[in-house]
Chain A
Amino acid sequence: KAIMPFGNTHNNFKLNYKVEEEFPDLSKHNNHMAKVLTKDIYAKLRDKQTPSGYTLDDVIQTGVDNPGHPFIMTVGCVAGDEESYEIFKELLDPIISDRHGGYKPTDKHKTDLNFENLKGGDDLDPNYVLSSRVRTGRSIKGYTLPPHNSRGERRAIEKLAVEALTSLDGEFKGKYYPLKSMTDAEQEQLISDHFLFDKPVSPLLTCAGMARDWPDGRGIWADEEDHLRVISMQKGGNMREVFRRFCVGLQKIEEIFKKHNHGFMWNEHLGYILTCPSNLGTGLRGGVHVKLPKLSTHPKFEEILTRLRLQKRGTGGVDTASVGGVFDISNADRLGSSEVEQVQLVVDGVKLMVEMEKKLEKGEAIDGMIPAQ
């Protein structure tokens, strides 16, 4: 069996030390991994490795290095390959359950990328809804994931992805911009289109080894935190069209990868397999940039979002603040409901919140509109 050269240090060597000697000090930690990992689980799993050589200590390193925040519960672990979710299930299943609303090891996840099942979504008021966007991630079966892959593997993924994407035509015809050889002009354009992604600086990602060898093997359309991040977006409120393009494009890409004998990583329990357990299932974040200056200052704003199964972010994405009352509103769920269901929640929820905003503008109360639990 061949292994990835990175990250498999000491797996046998560590076993010369007792569990108590190696077990991490998690007394000041607040993340899902720290809550679940006991000495017993550590003892049971520490001598195991996936076929490519990924170990338990590799899985948890980011959670050990990043104790977390009293208010924000991070996951604290990553997968190095598809098999991580099997071999380390004793650790990962309870984490998945905590993170995804009680999702059980026996539950099945449904995938539905048939955009015609979406009701409405083409009539969100463009005076309030500035832009619509749907993103997800995909992993290519047969390769290890970004925390673990070597340069050779990452380049092979890039090569295959570029082959697949450049064979798209019609409305999906496009171009690949490798980060390594991008010109200044191309970079400017991608920045002003809000397409360019930066080298990760968040220690959550760097401690998991995802920034290694940057920018080798990276480009727009491929290889940041996951093998592929797929994004469909446009100005205005026609989420239906954004979702249609998303579904059609994804399915076209998947067909091409299957022809190369490398379909996407998926199973009926966890849905689409991605690097971070928080993105399992659909991996989908569908949302809008919407102006809600009055509603966002209403005391019940957070509660409304929770009941609608939505989350808010600033307009710069995760961990940013909102500017001028404009929020990024998207679905909170990933695992246990389908793509169509999750986008439906966004469409219905945003429509309702825009109605609420209009009511508040007129000085009227919105209590009657707040959804029941």
Chain B
Amino acid sequence: MASSFTRILSSKRNVGILSLVGGSVAAGFLLHREHVTAGEPLRRRYPASAEYPDLRKHNNCMASHLTPAIYAKLCDKATPNGYTLDQAIQTGVDNPGHPFIKTVGLVAGDEESYEVFAELLDPVIKERHNGYDPRVMKHPTDLNASKIQSGVFDERYVLSSRVRTGRSIRGLSLPPACTRAERREVERVVVDALSGLKGDLAGKYYSLTVMTEKEQQQLIDDHFLFDKPVSPLLTCAGMARDWPDARGIWHNNEKTFLIWINEEDHTRVISMEKGGNMKRVFERFCRGLKEVERLIQERGWEFMWNERLGYILTCPSNLGTGLRAGVHVKLPRLSKDPRFGKILDNLRLQKRGTGGVDTAAVGGTFDISNLDRLGQSEVQLVQTVIDDFLAGSKYGVCVLLRSSWYRL
């Protein structure tokens, strides 16, 4: 962690942190959890009881855990960058949720949010991540792809394989809170680092602000282009501000390694290819991530990570590995089986439509991926997905069914 200390001290941001805290003794050096201190407290016009949101019609993790007592305790705190509890929960207040789908209902504005607002975030994380208790547990990180056993699927059923995660640049605020200058700095740091990738990873950056029509059409045809967020879950959290300033897409020439810059996270890193070779996809994923990390470290930066929460991302649901490994697979019969939902639950898998989250399946083709993010390593999660799909067998689908019967 020494390098992060040097980074912070040498950056001009340090001046901001000190001036914010003014006469107060505890300066907000962000090193380890125990040393993180909140920024200058807010002096507010109304007491906490007048400000407490009406959450009676809400069904999200934030609403389940934000008691008036916790609100009162945290509402006048701010992170060293000035991010407040009200800002963190705004998306959850504005989006009451759905009786069947429980969203998280809050976001982090910076790395320190997870510390300063821990009293709310820890129980939310525990609920969302299946009992993982950030107060006592440690999260394992393992990007050693050589440990993966088998991992090549039957291509008559598996149309494509994909692994994605996110990474945040330490020292810069996250998308809900970043200023325009910070967002541009994220873009600059990442694009600069990516230009150092070589071999099968060499590629090109396409900025959303200066993209040509032709480039845009190509990216749409490749299914690489991301749109301005329209989901109120994201817009109410302030993630679409200043669009499309400092947003862009980078991909390698072979179109198998792709990075989104400044969408819902600083970066989203995606490895993919047609067909069922999940092992190769994951191998490229790990190699690419490690290369990118090495390149940003060369330039004095690093990713946000700690052993309590793993990789730090905007939404608490993506903590830990931030990893979603999945396939587009044809399951027209299995998906009609009334046990389909339960089978997926037992295998710790989730289904989405082929357009991604919140879309419908087309022609019996589903996006099936791991449910868990935190508490298990990358290798463990990907191995689970692979074991569930059992490579290379023409009875792949039946095995999926059989193994789930075993666990029902």
Contact = CB atoms under 8 A, between A and B. Distances in A.
Contact of A156 (B46, B75, B240, B243): B46
A82 B234 CA distance: 30
A13 interface: yes
B341 to A, nearest CB: 33
Contact of B51 (A2, A8, A52, A150): A150
B241 A65 contact: yes
Interface string A142-162: 000000001111011000000
Given A156-B46, A156-B50, A9 B181 contact: no
B179 interface: yes
A160 to B, nearest CB: 13
Contact of A10 (B177, B240, B242, B243): B177
A211 interface: yes
A4 interface: yes
A214 B94 contact: yes
Contact of B44 (A2, A18, A22, A61): A2
The A contact surface, by secondary structure, is loop
Contacts of B12: 16
B42 interface: yes
Interface stretch (B13-21, B116-124, B353-361, B397-405): B13-21
A76 to B, nearest CB: 13
Given A3-B43, A8-B82, A212 B179 contact: no
A259 interface: no
Given A6-B87, A61-B241, A152-B46, A12 B19 contact: yes
Contacts of A25: 209, 245
A13 B94 CA distance: 27
A13 B171 CA distance: 13
Interface string A1-45: 111111011111111111001111100000000000000000000
Interface size class of B (residues with CB under 8 A): 35 or more
Contact of B50 (A14, A18, A61, A152): A152
Contacts, number: 114
Select the residue from A10, A18, A216 with max chain B CB neighbours within 10 A.
A10
Interface string B228-250: 00000001100011110100000
Select the residue from A12, A21, A156 with max chain B CB neighbours within 10 A.
A12
Interface string A203-246: 00011000111101000000000000000000000000000000
B44 A5 contact: yes
A5 B53 contact: no
A6 B242 contact: no
B75 to A, nearest CB: 7
Given A13-B179, A151-B53, A3 B44 contact: yes
B181 A17 contact: yes
A5 B93 contact: no
Nearest to B51: A152
Contacts of A10: 81-82, 173, 177, 179
A80 to B, nearest CB: 14
B322 interface: no
B30 to A, nearest CB: 14
A23 B81 CA distance: 19
Contact of A1 (B16, B43, B75): B43
Contacts of A12: 16, 19-20, 82
A12 B13 CA distance: 11
B379 to A, nearest CB: 38
Contacts of B84: 5-6, 9
A300 B80 CA distance: 61
Interface size class of A (residues with CB under 8 A): 35 or more
Given A152-B45, A152-B50, A212 B93 contact: yes
A152 B46 CA distance: 6
Contacts of A216: 53-54, 93
A193 B27 CA distance: 58
A180 interface: yes
Contact of A2 (B19, B45, B242): B45
A155 B179 CA distance: 30
B90 interface: yes
A3 B245 CA distance: 29
B86 A150 contact: yes
Nearest to B11: A16
B46 A64 contact: no
Contact of B81 (A13, A150, A211, A212): A13
B83 interface: yes
A113 B358 CA distance: 53
B147 interface: no
Contacts of A151: 50-53
Contacts of B179: 10, 13-14, 17, 22, 57
B50 A3 contact: no
Interface string B71-91: 000010000011110110010
Contacts of B13: 13, 16
Given A5-B42, A25-B209, A206-B235, A155 B50 contact: yes
A261 B55 CA distance: 32
Contacts of B44: 2-5, 150, 152
Nearest to A203: B235
Given A9-B84, A155-B50, 5 more contacts: A5-B75, A10-B173, A14-B179, A150-B45, A152-B44
25 contacts: A2-B43, A2-B45, A5-B44, A6-B90, A9-B84, A9-B87, A10-B179, A12-B20, A13-B82, A13-B179, A16-B12, A17-B179, A18-B181, A21-B180, A22-B181, A64-B242, A150-B44, A150-B51, A150-B86, A152-B45, A152-B51, A180-B54, A211-B94, A212-B94, A214-B94
